[in-house]
Chain A
Amino acid sequence: MFFREDRPREGVVRIPSGCAIAGIMDRSGGRHDGTDILRSIALMHDRGNGLGGGFAAYGIYPEYKELYAFHIMYECQEARAQTEAYLDTYFMSEKQERIPTQDVASIKNPPDIWRYFAAPHPMRLNMSGFDEAEYTMQHVFHINSHIDGAFVASSGKDMGAFKGVGYPEDIGAFYRIEDYQAWAWTAHGRFPTNTPGWWGGAHPFTLLNWSVVHNGEISSYDANRRYVEQFGYRCNLQTDTEVITYLFDLLTRRHGFSQQMAAHIMTAPSWDEIDRMDAPCAAFETALRSVYASALVNGPFSVILGSEEGLLAINDRLKLRALMVAEHDRMVYLASEQAAIEVVCPEAASIRSIEGGVPFVVQLDEVVAREQGASGENIQLEAPLAHEIGVLPPRRKEVDHVRS
């Protein structure tokens, strides 16, 4: 088996880690294979320690773009049987297959990794009272919390995550990412402080169309976790990346903010800055900070958020982690280190570092065009709160794990 029972794994303990992150995107939507992102993250080899690497890719399944693409890792046959029975109940699967992989000497004991292209079961979706995204999210949570030995690595549409235990360049070779064509790639090389050796714990962390790669250790973790858990999110992995993803999901999908605004809320301007603003602006920022006080993310972090709209990069308010950006023609490059950009695009102009607390947003041209006419008002999802529908408070997987 690929993880040892006697060692605590991700979710049972909280594991701080340092990292390398990178992202490459073509604004025009042109698709590129994984060669460049692999070279970029490989250059930052020393920022990881071989205990986690991964990639997220957008636009890789155009033939199934209406369906949820579930990438699921299995530790054992039973987990697969149980998960597939579950999926059969709640989803209608168009296609399912083993994700093609290639033997790499340094990758030991990989799990059995499958992908499913599926749509929610229409009648069950209707009866659930949720919209499609919320329905899918709840079922992903269920698999991750209740089916031992199964882990949903990604669950978005026309996107996927490829991750595992190893150096990112080895993980990339293992998944043959050069065979996929994507308009946006993100990558992660991990330096966890101890050795859980669990594939599910590798990054990017994903949920629906979100993928997050993150470098840092946020000091507001528990404040953020306890905030999002009020709204039905389950922080099973106890990682920063997980809670950051849920914050983005809550603020954008449920509360209707733009991604940029969500990032702004998470790295809110300081009170000193707000005090210097004119009265209407100060009132606006004050209202945001007081309503979303617990969504403020503190401590060092640099994050690249991927979604169907594009990429968003954000640094903590004090700029305690490195993150560089460069643009060249229709391409945008992001990386923890400047050299990781130059190695794939030596001609890139205007390489600069992203400022603390100022989100850098790059959207597909079509998204930019679509949003130009938008009103600027956020429209909230009227989803009932957990207690209103009688769902019990969230329980953590480790509790089940220990008891069983």
Chain B
Amino acid sequence: MFDRKVPTYKVLRDREACTNCGACVRQCSYGVHRIDEQSGKLVADHGACVNCQRCVLMCPPRAIAITKWPQVGTGSAVWTPDHMKDIAKQARTGAVLLSSMGNPEPYPTYWDHLLLNASQVTNPSIDPLREPMETRVFLGSRPVALRVNTRQHAVISDMPPQLRLDVPIMFSAMSFGSISLNTQRALALAAEELGTYFNCGEGGLHPDLERYANNTIVQVASGRFGVNPQYLNNAAAIEIKIGQGAKPGIGGHLPGEKIDGEVSRTRMIPEGTDAISPAPHHDIYSIEDLRQLIFSLKEATRYRKPIAVKIAAVHNAAAIASGMARAGADIIVIDGFRGGTGAAPKRIRNNVGIPIELALAAVDERLREEGIRSTVSLVVSGTIRDSADIVRAIALGADAVSIGSAALIAIGCHQCGDCASGRCNWGIATQDPALTKRIHPQSAAERIVNLVRAWNKEIEEMMGGMGINAIDSLRGNRLMLRGVGLNQKELDILGVKHAGE
């Protein structure tokens, strides 16, 4: 009886509206809904519900709503029901708690404390409907100064390879295995349509996606799944994943039951075996080792592809990023502690790392102090929730951002946070063919394209309001930001003034 867990959610069913059609039964992979044999009525197993809201939205007469289980705690601010539930679960299983999606704890979100500027009188705002508004960004390393022949219009300097982004938004790394192939297809199609890039994550690149090579960033992570010369060359850029915002300092573990035929072929590991990414790269124990891996990859791709290095935002991110730039990384990617994940130990996700806003500001400032900011590109991810967050990120110093959760939400994800179970009712974080077919790649891609186009329009509107017509002039332009409700230390780290100053 100790192990009887208190449900988190309660399924409310409007008996008057319900037609007993059974759609909810068919939609729910968790088996929450069933028809009671005796009464012939629909009943719910509340404890199994994860609040993914699939049944709510699929119920034809709109008879279902999910609410919180009404049981209250004792009122203690210390021993909350959540803490007690976790303790009970661990007492039962003796295991590390697993969680999915981004850190839900109420840490400060600095985006919400940064306000944007607009032109009044002394300079005109620019109307993006009437004037050209440029959001094209190039990512890659660059010389400090360019040598050219002006007469012949020729570049004399060796220009390192550059990634061209028509919108300052890419898709974060999400591997096949953690998400379905249909979801990756949707991201690839959207990236191609938008002139940007999706990232196949560390799970290899499925042959079906090879034709999107020009819009693909392939990842080399500590598990090295699916890495071979063909994989490396079948991409626009390569990303070395050192860390991930949701789980800094630890590796990954895709359980054997998720390694079906397709995933096994793509990851190049036997079917049914666990796919384990070690915590560190075992050939990178220090910064000079990173340099060797960067240059091994550059050699393998004949210096034709930019190499990105991704780290989680941790306390010493600024110094690490500077070291990465000096080690030869062309693009520095920083993932904040609220970034999403398919699976991460709950304590790690909820407690390790720092907010992306502070890490970004510190990294950008450090690179500038050392005079190398213009020689390297900076990409951030981990809770980019809307276009204003992107404008803030770029004004703090980012070249571009990556979105993961937002792209998934666009195609159905409801942030229930149960990706790790592999039973995603929206067909995203699952390999069950009955569920993955719920994602139609073309229509899902269309939704992602719509989202990014809408955001890009909003970015243009906000830039125009500031009197800026090229995103280059927004990058690092911290005067366009003002803090509200921040203390002096926070303002100093962010490098912004307080509103009213």
Interface residues of A (CB under 8 A from B): 14, 16-18, 193, 216-224, 226-227, 229-231, 254-258, 261, 270-272, 280-281, 283-284, 286-294, 296-300, 317-318, 320, 375-378, 380, 385-387, 393
Tell me the bound Cα distance from A223 to B131 in angstroms: 21
* Given A280-B153, A288-B146, A290-B142, A226:B476 Cβ within 8 A: yes
- How many residue pairs between the two chains, A and B, have CB atoms under 8 Å in the bound complex? 152
CA–CA, A224 to B478, complex, Å? 11
In angstroms, Cα B172 to Cα A322, docked, is 45
Cβ–Cβ contact A270 & B468, under 8 A: no
Could you write out 25 A-B pairs with CB less than 8 Å apart?
Answer: A219-B123, A220-B468, A220-B473, A222-B479, A223-B473, A223-B474, A223-B476, A223-B477, A224-B473, A227-B476, A255-B145, A272-B132, A281-B153, A283-B155, A284-B155, A293-B138, A293-B475, A296-B472, A298-B472, A376-B150, A376-B151, A377-B147, A377-B156, A387-B370, A387-B371
In whole angstroms, how far apart are the Cα atoms of A394 and B148 in the complex? 30
Q: How far is the CA of A380 from the CA of B457 in the complex (A)?
A: 40
Other-chain contact of A216, B123, B131, B472 (Cβ < 8 Å): B123
Bound Cα distance from A219 to B466, whole angstroms: 7
Given contacts A230-B368, A261-B150, A291-B143, contact A271 B477 (CB under 8 A): no
B287 within 8 A of A: no
Residues in B342-375 with C-beta less than 8 Å from chain A? 368-374
Asked whether B148 lies within 8 Å of A288 as measured between CB atoms, the reply is yes
CB distance from A294 to the nearest CB of B (A): 6
Given contacts A223-B472, A294-B374, contact A393 B369 (CB under 8 A): yes
Interface of B is mostly: loop
- Chain B residue at smallest Cβ distance from A272: B132
Q: Is the CB of B371 within 8 A of A298?
A: no
B76 within 8 A of A: no
Can you name the residue of chain B whose Cβ is closest to the Cβ of A377?
B149
Q: Knowing A287-B146, A292-B146, A393-B369 are in contact, say whether A300-B123 is a contact too (CB < 8 A).
A: yes
How many residues of B are in contact with the other chain, CB < 8 A? 50
**Are A293's CB and B122's CB within 8 A?**
no
A217 to chain B: closest residue by CB: B123
Which residues of the other chain, A, contact B159 by a CB distance below 8 angstroms? 287, 291
The CA of A293 and the CA of B375, in the complex, are separated in Å by: 11
Tell me, yes or no, whether B49 is within 8 Å of chain A by CB: no
Question: B150 contacts A258, CB within 8 Å?
Answer: yes
Please judge, given known A-B contacts A377-B148, A378-B148, A386-B371, whether A317 and B469 are in contact too, CB under 8 Å: yes
Complexed CA–CA distance, A337 and B145 (Å)? 37
Q: Contacts A230-B371, A280-B154, A287-B155 hold; do A222 and B477 have CB atoms under 8 A apart?
A: yes
- B417 CB within 8 Å of chain A: no
In the bound assembly, the distance between CA atoms of A218 and B469 in angstroms comes to: 11
Q: From A388, which residue of chain B is reached at the shortest CB distance?
A: B371
Chain B: minimal CB distance from A273 (Å)? 9
Q: Are B473 and A219 in contact (CB under 8 A)?
A: yes
Is A375 a contact partner of B155 (Cβ separation < 8 A)?
A: no
**Does B321 lie at the interface of the complex (its beta carbon under 8 Å from any beta carbon of A)?**
no
> Across the interface, do A270 and B475 meet the contact criterion of CB distance under 8 Å?
no
Residues of A within 8 A of B153 (CB): 280-281, 284
A16 to B, closest residue via Cβ: B122
The answer to whether the Cβ of B260 comes within 8 Å of any Cβ in the partner chain is: no
Q: Which of B134, B373, B475 contacts A271 (CB 8 A)?
A: B134
B470 and A298 contact, CB distance less than 8 A = yes
Add 9 more A-B contacts to A220-B477, A291-B374, A385-B371 (CB < 8 A).
Answer: A17-B122, A18-B122, A219-B119, A220-B472, A222-B480, A226-B476, A230-B371, A230-B373, A378-B150
User: Are B467 and A294 in contact (CB-based, < 8 A)?
Assistant: no
Q: For the complex, give the distance between the alpha carbons of A255 and B143 in Å.
A: 11
Question: How long is the Cα–Cα vector from A171 to B148 in the complex, in angstroms?
Answer: 43
Residues of B near A281 (CB, < 8 A) are 153
The answer to whether A221 and B477 touch (CB under 8 A), given A254-B145, A288-B146, A377-B147, is yes
Query: What B residues does A320 contact at CB under 8 A?
Result: 123-124
Q: List residues of chain A with CB within 8 A of the CB of B476.
A: 222-223, 226-227, 294
Provide the B90-113 mask, 1 if CB < 8 A to any CB of A, else 0: 000000000000000000000000
Q: Which residue of A lies closest to B481 (CB)?
A: A222
Alpha-carbon distance between A183 and B162 when the two chains are bound, in angstroms? 46
Residue in A217, A230, A258, A294 whose beta carbon sits within 8 Å of that of B475 in the complex? A294
Q: What's the Cα separation between A195 and B280 when bound, in Å?
A: 58
**Given contact pairs A298-B468, A317-B469, A290 touches B162 in the complex (Cβ within 8 A):** yes
Q: With A230-B374, A255-B145, A320-B124 in contact, is A294–B150 under 8 Å at CB?
A: no
A229 touching B368 by the CB < 8 A rule? yes
CB <8 Å contact, A219 and B468: yes
A253 to chain B, nearest CB (A): 12
Residues of A contacting B142 in the complex (Cβ-Cβ under 8 angstroms) = 290-291
Q: Does chain A have a CB within 8 A of B444? A: no
Q: Enumerate chain A residues within 8 angstroms of B480, measured Cβ to Cβ.
A: 219, 222
- Give 1 or 0 for each of B471-501: 1 = CB within 8 Å of chain A CB: 0111111111000000000000000000000
In angstroms, how far is the closest chain A Cβ from the Cβ of B267?
Answer: 35
Query: 0/1 per residue, B136-173, Cβ < 8 Å to A?
Result: 10101011111111111111110100100000000000
Contacts of A18 in B (CB 8 A): 122
Complex Cα–Cα for A257 and B126 (A) = 30
A363 to B22, CA, bound (A): 84
A257→B147 CA distance, assembly (Å): 9
Chain B residues with CB under 8 A of A290: 138, 140, 142, 162
